[in-house]
Structure 1
Amino acid sequence: MLGSLFLLWTSFWFLFVLFKIQRPKNFPPGPWPIPIFGNLLQLNLVNLLYDLRKLSERYGKVYSIYLGRKPAVVLNGLQAMKEALVTQSVEFAARPKDHMVNHLTEGKGVALTDGPMWKEHRRFALTTLRNFGLGKRSMEERILGEISYIASHLEKNAGKATDPQTLFHKAGFNVICTVLFGTRFKHEDEFLQLNIRHITEIAKIINGPWAMIYDTLPLVRNLPLPFQKAFQNMRMIRKSLADQVSQHKESRVPGEPRDLIDCYLGEMEKRGDAGSSFGEYQLVCYLLDLLFAGTDTSSNTLLTAFLYLMTHPDVQERCQKEIDEVLGEKEQASFEDRHRMPYTQAMIHEVQRVADTAPLSLFHATTKDTQLMGYDIPKGTIIIPNLSSVLSDESQWKFPHEFNPSNFLNDQGEFVKPEAFMPFSAGPRVCPGEGLARMELFLIVVTLLRRFKFIWPEDAGVPDYTPVFGLTQTPKPYRLGVRLRGSGDLGP
């Protein structure tokens, strides 16, 4: 018996020594990792944010955790974020390899690539978005046209409570589709409904518990575990996008681009095959990145906006008063009107802050050995930007833990944007769709607040503001009480 116990203990000790994780010299402090698992067993995988905050309180604004044997540095607070992503943007601009998100995207697209491919495709996206109206009246018209479908749905449900869970996703999806494919889809269209469902399911899996297990334990990656659903969804989205590309190849007229696909196919012809990062499969993955970014983040932010507007009627009424005064008899809102709506602007930015839609952004990696706030960070180290810590940084916000538009107003009631406002990340890796998202949020919120009043349904219980964690956070499902402004009270 004693011999068996001794053998078991010896075997355990041998495995511990064999797989022991060595922390690099002068590396940021952090919880001690367990061989093989790293810190996986010490974190709440359902929602990492609480544990990351507690670790910051113990180890400081820059600390380390281990994903299996891979070291990762977590950035917390404005100073650490700026020093890494802005001041040392080149040193912190890479993306980690061999993670679930890398395998999902197969190393293509734009969001998870780096080097020349990333630079070329990011530049192409920004140029094409501008050419198709970003920041111009033509893009406003696309958005306002899509808002009419939201308003029609709400009008039909006036005096009742409706489920808004996919309403804003359909709008966001269609706005980006007008740029990518040159068309919008009916809200009951199968292409639209299936792709939105696949996108939202993938967003919940990435950064969730099964993705963490996938990243930490490579041996389980081929097992029939829940993370396989994300790969199935990706394959289905890619197939639907490949069909769009095929249709465009048959119908396009060279030199007369209708949308981003036509522009990209034209660029492929111009560059030729030799050594170009532009290719047909890359185009499919590129479209997927843009479709994902253009659908999920803005939609979840809008869901957060109307949750808070319903439950903060004083804020809603003050916005409506300002909107009425500024727009007057004007038929439609314009993005330029934001400059005359400081309180509404402040409310929308405050919604983005509390929505915390992309709390851990996309992970970065170091391009070479470097230093950060006195610590040595080796090349290839995973960098986790905890944007959530910046958006609730007590040293940066007047009301860090409550919904209050005053966070974006000065003493004169003028709109101000604090440096700590970075829901789209910071530096050269900032989301390329930020401009489109800002325009969508403003026009949708202002147009709907002008026409409708939103009320928390009497039978809905106590509002729960706790978001569902994932690559993008979303509010828990709720019902949206709607009535036309100036009409009677909301019915049962």
Structure 2
Amino acid sequence: MIRNNAYILVTIIYFIYFQLSKQYGPIFRIQMGSVKMVVLSGYETVKSALVDSADDFAERPFVRIFENINHGWGISFSHGENWKEMRRFTLSTLRDFGMGRSTIEDKIVEEIGFLIKELESEKGRPTDLAMIVNLAIGNIITSIVMGHRFDYQNPTLLRLMHLVNENMRLIGCPSVQRYNVFPLLRYFPGDHLKVKQNISELHSFLQKTFLQHLKDLDRDDQRSFIDAFLVKQKEEEANPNSHYHEANLLSVITTLFSAGTETTASTIRWAIFFMAKYPDIQKHVHEEIDKVIGTSLPKYEHRVIMPYTNAVIHETQRFANIVPTNLPRATTKDIMFKGYYLPQGTYIIPLLESVLYDKTQFDNPESFCPEHFLDSDGRFVKNSAFMPFSAGKRVCIGETLAKMELFLFFTSLMQSFSIHPAPGNSVIEFKIKPTVGFTSSALAPKICVISRS
């Protein structure tokens, strides 16, 4: 066991875990502060745990910052029957509102139209994509959760996205990581207090929204996720053990905003930056779009006849490694795993970085290479080590929505624009760096988005 590695808590944690796995093997235990963790590294080991032994690795451990946010409610860090019921209801309701079908595709296409107009208004000037892409993806979530979208200049949407983005950054920052493993730090000021403050403001806004939806609620005309939850809440008013209460609704919607906005928006930004960095790949994407779609609206069904574009999106997800450490798991019972005894409740880190960069699964993992997902004839091929949404019982509930968003947003933007580094910044000098946070967001210089028409 590697004890009390404080230096891990002041740097990019997932990178250090990955380096340690090269020294100590695919399974090792590490202690940080008061918390003992078992790190699983490499495709075979992570797959054996999350997929082949899914029931044994289906719990979540206690993580102080997430306990502050969710208090055990919702989906991401809840347990037992509450987790099962909230996950079932959320998946069912998202499907009812069109996830994976043309209903939600129409909303995505509509939002893309607004984004394209906004980018066209820049007239090729150097542009920072961070906020505008976040607002566009955030509007998809607000349309599902609240039943409507916002203008990009709307102060409510701007504030919501600021709160969500800041918390996603702070949750993964070194000071909050220290707070998670050193209990005494809860008595001192720090970024964990800012996270709680942001959550309090977000919840206050949502509670006001609930009241408005409750006032206008029509059981036979449910227009949003909030409406569907409130109807279910009324149906179970007589049940003292009902899971349909405000605390669960607040937590579920907070998760939908956080997980449903930042991860997808970050992936799209990475993809656009890669096009600026690799003009030959961008040229190939443009050629495929022009040949298959032309000037028609991109549709999700086009992905099966656009192998190269699909491969570029998959390679972006692999290479950008948006959630590198994955959300932690915990064992549901005492188990033997690959010769190691893991008691019930063992804190598990399934290291996605090590899966997406596994040299036994990807020929050249350190390079951005769409050919990782193409055969010798240029046909798209799946790879079982492609796990950007995690795997097993706790796989991301928004995977279907995210896949549709990624294809439609990327393809539509590439159909409309060519992407270039800003003047004075050559392709060679164009550097893309990940941020230090819960997600691996892209930091890059401004780019020029130039209309192809």
Provide the rounded CA distance (Å) in 2 between the counterparts of 1:135 and 1:98.
32
Q: Which residue of 2 aligns with 1:471?
A: 438
Q: SS of 2:418's equivalent?
A: strand
Q: Tell me which stretches of 4 or more aligned residues in structure 1 moved more than 4 Å.
A: none
Q: Which residue of 1 aligns with 2:160?
A: 195
Q: How far 1:399 sits from its partner (Å)?
A: 1.8
Q: SS of 1:425's equivalent?
A: coil
The amino acid that maps onto 1:308 is F
What are the Cα deviations for residues 241-263 of structure 1, in whole angstroms up to 9, with x where unaligned? 11111110001112321111111
Q: Which residue of 2 aligns with 1:263?
A: 228
Query: Is the CA contact (8 Å cut-off) linking 2:433 and 2:444 kept in structure 1?
Result: no
Q: Which residue of 1 aligns with 2:56?
A: 91
Query: Is the CA contact (8 Å cut-off) linking 2:373 and 2:380 kept in structure 1?
Result: yes
Residue in structure 2 matching 1:326, options 281, 288, 292: 292
Provide the rounded CA distance (Å) in 2 between the counterparts of 1:135 and 1:218.
42
Q: Which residue of 2 aligns with 1:285?
A: 251
The amino acid that maps onto 1:119 is K
Q: SS of 1:481's equivalent?
A: strand
Residue in structure 2 matching 1:216, options 178, 181, 188: 181
Q: Which residue of 2 aligns with 1:11?
A: none
Instruction: Kindly indicate whether residue 96 of structure 2 is the aligned counterpart of residue 131 of structure 1.
Output: yes
Instruction: Kindly indicate whether residue 452 of structure 2 is the aligned counterpart of residue 485 of structure 1.
Output: yes
What are the Cα deviations for residues 344-374 of structure 1, in whole angstroms up to 9, with x where unaligned? 0000000111111111111111111112211
Provide the rounded CA distance (Å) in 2 between the counterparts of 1:67 and 1:115.
27
Instruction: Kindly indicate whether residue 265 of structure 2 is the aligned counterpart of residue 294 of structure 1.
Output: no
Instruction: Kindly indicate whether residue 113 of structure 2 is the aligned counterpart of residue 159 of structure 1.
Output: no
Query: Is the CA contact (8 Å cut-off) linking 2:144 and 2:224 kept in structure 1?
Result: yes
Query: Is the CA contact (8 Å cut-off) linking 1:245 and 1:284 kept in structure 2?
Result: no
Q: Which residue of 1 aligns with 2:28?
A: 63
Residue in structure 1 matching 2:419, options 439, 445, 454: 454
Matching of residues 53-452 of structure 1 within 5 Å: 53-272=18-237, 273-330=239-296, 332-452=297-417
What are the Cα deviations for residues 144-168 of structure 1, in whole angstroms up to 9, with x where unaligned? 1111111011111123211111111
More deviation, 476-485/243-252:
476-485
Count of matched residue pairs: 450
Which consecutive unaligned segments of at least 5 residues does structure 1 have? 1-29, 487-492
The amino acid that maps onto 2:339 is G
Q: SS of 1:142's equivalent?
A: helix
Q: SS of 2:29's equivalent?
A: strand
Provide the rounded CA distance (Å) in 1 between the counterparts of 2:441 and 2:124.
26
Provide the rounded CA distance (Å) in 2 between the counterparts of 1:59 and 1:347.
33
The amino acid that maps onto 1:50 is F
Give the root-mean-square deviation of aligned CA atoms: 1.3
Provide the rounded CA distance (Å) in 1 between the counterparts of 2:139 and 2:165.
15
TM-score between the two structures when normalised by the length of structure 1: 0.89
The amino acid that maps onto 1:97 is F
The amino acid that maps onto 1:131 is D
Query: Is the CA contact (8 Å cut-off) linking 1:358 and 1:423 kept in structure 2?
Result: yes
Query: Is the CA contact (8 Å cut-off) linking 2:34 and 2:182 kept in structure 1?
Result: no
What are the Cα deviations for residues 108-140 of structure 1, in whole angstroms up to 9, with x where unaligned? 121111211111111111111111111211211
Which one has a bigger Cα radius of gyration?
1
Provide the rounded CA distance (Å) in 2 between the counterparts of 1:285 and 1:44.
27
TM-score between the two structures when normalised by the length of structure 2: 0.97
Q: SS of 1:310's equivalent?
A: helix
**What percent identity do the matched residue pairs reach?**
35
The amino acid that maps onto 2:332 is T
More deviation, 342-351/104-113:
104-113
Provide the rounded CA distance (Å) in 2 between the counterparts of 1:98 and 1:317.
45
Q: How far 1:226 sits from its partner (Å)?
A: 2.3
The amino acid that maps onto 1:59 is Y
The amino acid that maps onto 1:481 is C
Q: SS of 1:166's equivalent?
A: helix
Q: SS of 1:43's equivalent?
A: helix
Query: Is the CA contact (8 Å cut-off) linking 2:26 and 2:45 kept in structure 1?
Result: yes
The amino acid that maps onto 1:353 is R
Provide the rounded CA distance (Å) in 1 between the counterparts of 2:291 and 2:81.
49
Q: Which residue of 2 aligns with 1:22?
A: none
Query: Is the CA contact (8 Å cut-off) linking 1:255 and 1:266 kept in structure 2?
Result: no
Provide the rounded CA distance (Å) in 2 between the counterparts of 1:435 and 1:45.
35
Q: How far 1:457 sits from its partner (Å)?
A: 1.4
Q: How far 1:287 sits from its partner (Å)?
A: 0.8
Q: How far 1:48 sits from its partner (Å)?
A: 1.0
What are the Cα deviations for residues 259-300 of structure 1, in whole angstroms up to 9, with x where unaligned? 111111111122224111110222111111111111110000
Provide the rounded CA distance (Å) in 2 between the counterparts of 1:463 and 1:105.
39
Provide the rounded CA distance (Å) in 2 between the counterparts of 1:155 and 1:329.
17
Provide the rounded CA distance (Å) in 1 between the counterparts of 2:399 and 2:63.
27
